[in-house]
Chains A and B, each alone.
Chain A
Amino acid sequence: MKEILISLNQTQKVRLQAALQHLDELASQVSSANLAVTVADTIPVNNEDGILKGHGTTEFDGQVVATLCGIVERVNKLVYVRTLRARYKPEVGDIIVGRVIEIAPKRWRLEINFSQDAVLMLQSMNLPDGIQRRRTAVDELNMRSIFEENDVVCAEVRGFQHDGSLHLQARSQKYGKLERGQLLIIPAYLVKRRKQHFHHLEQYGVDLILGCNGFVWIGEHAEPIDSEVLEDRDKIPKDKHRDTPLEVRRNICRISNSVRLLSALGFALSVEAIVDTAEASKSSNVDIKDMLGAEFYVQTAEREVQRRASLLKKKRFV
């Protein structure tokens, strides 16, 4: 992860090291000793109770052997290896952000950082006029008016088809084309699955979508459009020529720089952490461009240490 190259001076180096070491200590207090394995390591199992071999394992010479580098996870009888750094593995119901790479008959193909392209069928997509009906050949010809190549789209994982391809759906107003904003691509493991992946940061007037696949969208807040409102069509063309206000654009950059910073430090992305970082940069009068500089980098690491330490204390009291 060398997205940001920072030259630290001597004191900053020492501070950063101290902070990272502190984080290590905190992490070791919390986690129950999980076994880390590399490729071809034997995973110790008790062969007497039945064992189910999951992802990242194989059998060799009667032993369970890891085929990936990662952490050994055990769920009842199942033993599997969770990789530390790999491409995104979709699960049904995940909210993802992707980029359209191809328009094929009745479907769009999306790049979502998975080992294959995702498919968004025309029929699993709400039509712009909001009416439920059969998709006709005319709709098929007008597909480009919905999404074009290189558009950024938000959708939900619907499931795997029989042939192994991944299908998406976008059957709600909150899904669809994303405009007026920035797309950031970060490692997928930094985004945890939550109940809520759409966030409206009211104080900034910004929408934040944390896609499970590591695509993060930061854009100007757009009100979900009701199908009734849509009926007076004159509204849309006017909308298209509107400029995003400067203040909102600045906010977008500030939020996206906090995302960049947190992912460079390898901290899990949550909306609280992102807003915290953005607020901290504002309150200490750090310019947007200086957010990726050395000083703020170290400060963010130190703030994370404090946050986790206080969390740990709270847990102990409870």
Chain B
Amino acid sequence: MEYVSSLTGFRFDGRRPNEMRQIRGEIGVLAKADGSALFEMGNTKVIAAVFGPREVQNKSQQIDNQALVRCEYSMANFSTGDRARKPKGDRNIISYSADHGSKYINTFDASFSGKNLKQIDIFLQVLQADGGTRSACINAATLALADAGIPMRDIVTSCSAGYLCSTPLLDLNYVEDSAGGPDVTVGLLVKMDKMTLLQVIALMPTFFFFCCCICFVLLFV
């Protein structure tokens, strides 16, 4: 399949290979949460809610001089084009969301600052999935944390990139994502110039390194 038109050099959705989708962010979308944000990257839409800093609910989990950050990630059944089948047991969902949650926590850990923080809960819900849900979740959570007034050393931003038809592509959508090519998701601390997340799926040709570079450069812009 031809993901990049050999004639015009444009992608399916009319973007150039190094072009991002339109992004839109809105804060304060929920009344009861301490901080909340809605983030859209093209058709991908994620809502994030932050509660806290608050008292640790389970005392045995308390860590001295460190905030307990919990994150719950879920994807709405209606978020994808195909009708999602119900998983058989609830346990699957829990382990899945716990696994994903810990990934987001790892992304943020480096950027939290402040001593007397107790427990911070982040809830992420994917409303529409069109590729790049992980990046959108990270961006949404950053906005929600900033909205909640939680001190952070830096802003975490994220974007993905892929490699199809021997062309590096920035910010894959669902069709390009499911094409089976390699893709990489990067989380960056812009000011500190540090990387908090680098996730590569599938094998990477040598040329692919170039793709990462594009991703970096565009995130800085």
Residues of chain A lying within 8 A (CB to CB) of residue B191 = 40, 60, 65
Q: Indicate with 1 or 0, residue by residue over A18-39, a CB within 8 angstroms of chain B CB atoms.
A: 0000000000000000000011
Residue A205 at the B interface, CB < 8 A?
A: no
Q: A40-B191, A116-B54, A116-B55 are in contact. Are A85 and B147 (CB under 8 A)?
A: yes
Q: A68-B149, A85-B28, A115-B117 are in contact. Are A39 and B154 (CB under 8 A)?
A: yes
Residues of chain B lying within 8 A (CB to CB) of residue A159 = none
Question: Which one of A58, A116, A117 lies within 8 Å of B153 (CB-CB)?
Answer: A58
Residues of chain A lying within 8 A (CB to CB) of residue B192 = 60
Q: A39-B155, A67-B113, A87-B149 are in contact. Are A115 and B118 (CB under 8 A)?
A: yes
- Cα distance A1–B192 in the bound complex, in angstroms: 32
- Cα distance A3–B148 in the bound complex, in angstroms: 17
Sorting the interface of chain A by its residue count into under 10, 10 to 19, 20 to 34 or 35 or more gives 20 to 34
Question: Which one of B53, B146, B147, B153 lies within 8 Å of A115 (CB-CB)?
Answer: B53
Residue A230 at the B interface, CB < 8 A?
A: no
Residue A12 at the B interface, CB < 8 A?
A: no
Q: Indicate with 1 or 0, residue by residue over A81-122, a CB within 8 angstroms of chain B CB atoms.
A: 001111100000000000000000000000000011100000
> Which of chain A's residues 34-68 have a Cβ closer than 8 Å to chain B?
38-40, 56, 58, 60, 65, 67-68
Q: A71 CB to closest chain B CB, in angstroms?
A: 12
Q: Indicate with 1 or 0, residue by residue over B154-166, a CB within 8 angstroms of chain A CB atoms.
A: 1100000000000
Residue A69 at the B interface, CB < 8 A?
A: yes
- Cα distance A67–B114 in the bound complex, in angstroms: 9
Question: Which one of A38, A58, A85 lies within 8 Å of B113 (CB-CB)?
Answer: A58
Q: A58-B113, A69-B147, A85-B35 are in contact. List 19 more A-B contacts (CB 8 A).
A: A1-B31, A39-B152, A40-B152, A56-B151, A60-B153, A65-B191, A67-B152, A67-B153, A68-B151, A85-B148, A85-B149, A86-B34, A86-B149, A87-B148, A115-B54, A115-B116, A116-B54, A116-B55, A116-B116
